[in-house]
Amino acid sequence: MTITAQGTHLYQKSEFTSLGERLIRFGQALQNPETTVGQLTALASSCGIALKLRTVAESGEGAARE
């Protein structure tokens, strides 16, 4: 646990609080189109998540009909 000053009060930051903050940052990064794969991987790892990405190639109009 970490003791942190917030305003004039001290509170203990639990592991769950820290994890929640990291998950929020990860979720925000997922929503940002400018976030790089490397950044997503690092944020996921900090949350204990193994990020696996797969790419799919599209070939013009034919891919939209499938």
pLDDT tens digits, one per residue of 19-30: 999 999 999 999
Contacts 24+ apart (CB under 8 A), 59-65: none
Higher-confidence position of 51 and 7:
51
- pLDDT value, residue 35: 96
- pLDDT value, residue 60: 76
End-to-end C-alpha distance for the chain, whole angstroms:
51
- pLDDT value, residue 53: 87
Higher-confidence position of 11 and 35:
35
